[in-house]
Amino acid sequence: MKKIICTLCLVISTLCVMAQESKVVNLQFETRMDYQREYLDGDAVKSNSGFKGKYLNVILNGTINDHWSYSYRQRLNKAHADQSFFDATDWIHLTYRLNDNWSFNGGKQVVGIGGYEYDRAPIDLYFCSEYWNNIPCYQLGVSTTFTTNKGNDSFLAQICESPFNFKNEDLYAYNLMWYGTHGWYNSMWSVNAQEYAPGKFIYYLALGNEFRFGDATLQLDFMNRATDGHAFFFKDFSVMGELSYTIGKKFNVFGRMSYDVNKTHSTGDMCVMPGTELTRLGAGVEFYPLPEGNRNLRFHLAACHSFGKNGNPEGTMQDEQTFADMGVKLKLDILALTKKIFK
């Protein structure tokens, strides 16, 4: 750990020098610390209650020139098995932008699955669906993106390691996505073929929808899952929704729900197990105290309740489970802060 800290300090010092002359480097640090309580059938779950350090991230990105850019995010508090630090790397990838329409990306990246709950950074979520809690969403792969001339629509094609390649069996995922921005309506849709065993696939249709009406925003996701030999629609699926309302520049209030169900007998869905039918309802408030719409400091208070049956006894969500959470998120632009200190 001492070696890691010393290395990071050396890297940060070097980047600070580079940043004086160039805009190639953007270095950010973010963390979230919470106090939480969990109850199961009215009894306190002490192993998941108390003060928790949830996230400790370093983010490094930049544009090298008109064609090349890069992005890197490292979780400093995430377990890694091989001592290489790479298991705790969310993403590290290089992007080549050919022109205004085409770009190509390679490295460890987000698996291209539709939905707004799935797309949001974990540090900005307080409670989620059973599917979200079980999907390994960062994998090595390559992708290409085509953006229309107006810039309102982008289409992504991706080949990457399967999220379910737990035993290093050389499994792959094939993903197609549509990102749309059309005034009051935005979209994140995908079709996916995820290999969960050699030659065996689970197929997704993921429809992420966002509706904006003034200060109110509704996000509504539908994800349908199926393996070979099973009816495709409405046997294994999840619905996630959030309605939020911004009050001035300081407050955001929201209500969230999720519904996960798997009425099949297939072992192919490793995120929502057969026999699952779970509902989660919750709400929360966020407060941003800094002036001029600065959202680098945030306080939150949130609570939720889940009920139903989880086919996975070790699953994150359980019947008659109540969870309450309060905490603070801090995000710092390290290089900009360093410049101010040593100016």
CATH number, residue 94: 2.40.160.10
Q: Identify any residues that bridge with 160 across adjacent strands, giving them in sequence order.
A: 141, 173
Where in the sequence is the domain holding 165, given as residue range(s)? 2-341
| Dihedral-angle region of residue 97 (phi above 0 means left; psi in -120 to 50 means alpha; beta otherwise) | beta
The length of the chain in residues reads 343
Find all residues with CB under 8 Å of 216, minimum gap 6, and list them: 243, 244, 245, 246
Find the mean pLDDT for residues 195-210.
Answer: 96
Token pair for residue 35? Answer: 């106090």
- Report the pLDDT value the prediction gives residue 21, as an integer from 0 to 100: 47
What is the pTM (predicted TM-score) of this model?
A: 0.89
| Percent with pLDDT over 70 in the chain | 90
Token pair for residue 41? Answer: 């059938």
Compute the mean pLDDT over every residue in the chain, rounded to the nearest whole number. 91
Which phi and psi (to 5°) does residue 10 adopt? -65, -45
Rounded distance between C-alpha atoms, residue 69 and residue 65, angstroms:
7
Most confident of 15-19, 21-25, 110-114, 293-297: 110-114
- Report the pLDDT value the prediction gives residue 231, as an integer from 0 to 100: 73
Please answer whether residues 16 and 338 qualify as being in contact, where contact means their C-beta atoms are separated by less than 8 angstroms.
yes
Count of domains observed in the chain? 1
Which of 212, 211, 287 lies closest to 249 in space, CA to CA? Answer: 287
Q: How many CA atoms lie within 13 A of 321 on its CB side?
A: 20
Token pair for residue 314? Answer: 């070790």
Q: How many CB atoms lie within 10 A of CB 235?
A: 16
